[in-house]
Structure 1
Amino acid sequence: MKKSEFHRADEKRFLDERGSSGSLAPNGLNPATIMEKAVRERIVDCYFYKEQCFGVNEADIVDRVVEHVDFIGGVYGTVQKPTPFICLAFKLLQLAPSDAILDEYLRFGGEKFKYLRVLTAFYIRLTRQDKDVYQWLEPLLEDKRKLKRKGRAGTTLTYVDVFIDDLLTKDRVCATSLWKMRKRDILEDLEMLEPRVSPLGNIEDLLEEEEDDEVKKEGGDDSDGSVRSKTPDSGLDSNHDKIDVDGMGESRSSRSRSRSRSRSRSRSP
């Protein structure tokens, strides 16, 4: 058996000899140096990595995630202790699983495998090319399950789709600087990716429908769509003016009749 086939307890060998003897990741980066040096040193020296990550393979990763990972993050606390999440991500960098294994990780359903899904997405973002990253991660934006995130400020609540969006848009996630990808519209112009169709539909069509609804609301409540106009009078409507006019007409006629009667009475004697 060759010396390289042994699994040594000292994981620093992975850091020392990877640059000269190991293969590069599909995106051309060295897996041993993807994470920052300070984070790598904390990972290989922590108790969880030495106890739970020694001698594991791709199948054991699933058990470790289900048993020990209940939050995401890089380092936490005042002493910046590495999380089990980042320790297992570093172990995946050492194992370098194939695309078929990563696809099986993502296919695991159920609530207890949601951290395996985000761990796989984090590893894909670190090691795959930009075209593959979009194709792998964009379908995960429909996952709305809750996640716990632990950092220096404490534990907060987040969601799977929010974490995936951070991987696609931000430059630093889980105490790890992400390599800069080309934007999606650039890959579409190069015909490397097809335009993405949102589950909500076309955004332009949705905006046009909202504008049409607002125009209908502003048009009034009349069925024929006509808008009532106010009379230029001093706040009085036409019916009220008609009543006043009729009243004035009746008073004038009564006055004329009383005058004629008074004249007839004066002439009679």
Structure 2
Amino acid sequence: MAETNDQRGITLERGLVRGGATVHFMNPARLIEKIIRERIFDSLYWKEQCFGLTAATLCDRAAELTYIGGQYGTQRPTPFLCLAFKMIQLQPEREIVLEYLAAEDFKYLRALAAFYIRLVYPALEVYKLLEPLLADYRKLRSRSNTGFKLTYMDEFVDMLLTEERVCDIALPRVTPRIVLEDREELEPRESALASELESEGEDEEDNDK
């Protein structure tokens, strides 16, 4: 469906963000494919729960989430995906997004912020902001066309960093980490497993003394 701006005499796709900043050189709404946007707009959750949301009230709504995911059943968008698109429309200030990300007591709010950051932010910030969450091993419920399954925050974040599609959404391409390391924009990532092995080795040395 399209809507017409009579003053300019042009046609705009339904749901495009007007007056906001572009993201990855495009209208941010186009981060979500058109057919999925239409399904979001037609969903009962969007109509009943997302109307009139602000950055502050979206936080409250996201704190009520009980699972992540893209589409399920007959291609119905999950509340998680609806709220992600609402964030794209709202384009909240960076400080607000970081508050969402730091919300340890609300893991689905944190997951929503991570998903938004991966969609919207440049590669360097994606790595810097999301990689610390690889140490978050809390359980998450995920919903898809095949039903519910159990995953973990670190697995979800790893998917955001390595997969091309997450929650049925094609993720924007990001500069590979190794390239940013070669440019000295990022320090080489230290493996948590390597740190644990090193610590165990030091403990064994201390015991041998």
Partner of 2:77: 82
Which residues of structure 2 form unaligned runs of 5+? Answer: 1-12, 202-209
Correspondence 1:134-173 to 2 at 5 A: 134-173=127-166
Partner of 1:50: 47
Partner of 2:126: 133
Of 63, 86, 89 in structure 2, the residue corresponding to residue 91 of structure 1 is 86
Contact 1:148/1:155 (8 A) holds in 2: yes
Q: CA deviation at 1:202?
A: 5.6
Partner of 1:39: 36
Partner of 1:107: 102
Q: Percent identity?
A: 50
Contact 1:74/1:176 (8 A) holds in 2: yes
Partner of 2:206: none
Partner of 1:65: 62
Paired AA for residue 23 in structure 1: A
Partner of 1:14: 15
Which residues of structure 1 form unaligned runs of 5+? Answer: 1-11, 210-269
Q: CA deviation at 1:63?
A: 1.2
Give RMSD over aligned pairs: 1.8
Q: Following the alignment from structure 1 to structure 2, what is the Cα–Cα distance between the partners of residues 189 and 182?
A: 11
Contact 1:72/1:83 (8 A) holds in 2: yes
SS at match of 2:149: strand
Contact 1:137/1:164 (8 A) holds in 2: yes
Structure with greater helix share of residues: 1
Deviations 1:113-145 (A, max 9, x none): 100000000000000000010001000000000
Q: CA deviation at 1:28?
A: 3.1
Contact 2:164/2:170 (8 A) holds in 1: yes
Q: Following the alignment from structure 1 to structure 2, what is the Cα–Cα distance between the partners of residues 109 and 172?
A: 25
Correspondence 1:118-267 to 2 at 5 A: 118-201=111-194
Q: Following the alignment from structure 2 to structure 1, what is the Cα–Cα distance between the partners of residues 172 and 83?
A: 20
TM-score if structure 2 supplies the norm length? Answer: 0.84
Tell me: higher relative CO, structure 1 or 2? Use CA pairs within 8 A at least 6 residues apart: 2
Q: Following the alignment from structure 1 to structure 2, what is the Cα–Cα distance between the partners of residues 29 and 138?
A: 26
- Structure of larger gyration radius: 1
Q: Following the alignment from structure 1 to structure 2, what is the Cα–Cα distance between the partners of residues 28 and 198?
A: 34
Q: How many equivalent pairs are there?
A: 187
Q: Following the alignment from structure 2 to structure 1, what is the Cα–Cα distance between the partners of residues 21 and 104?
A: 32
Contact 1:122/1:167 (8 A) holds in 2: yes
Of 15, 21, 24 in structure 2, the residue corresponding to residue 23 of structure 1 is 21
Contact 1:29/1:127 (8 A) holds in 2: no
Q: Following the alignment from structure 2 to structure 1, what is the Cα–Cα distance between the partners of residues 174 and 190?
A: 21
TM-score if structure 1 supplies the norm length? Answer: 0.66
Structure with greater strand share of residues: 2
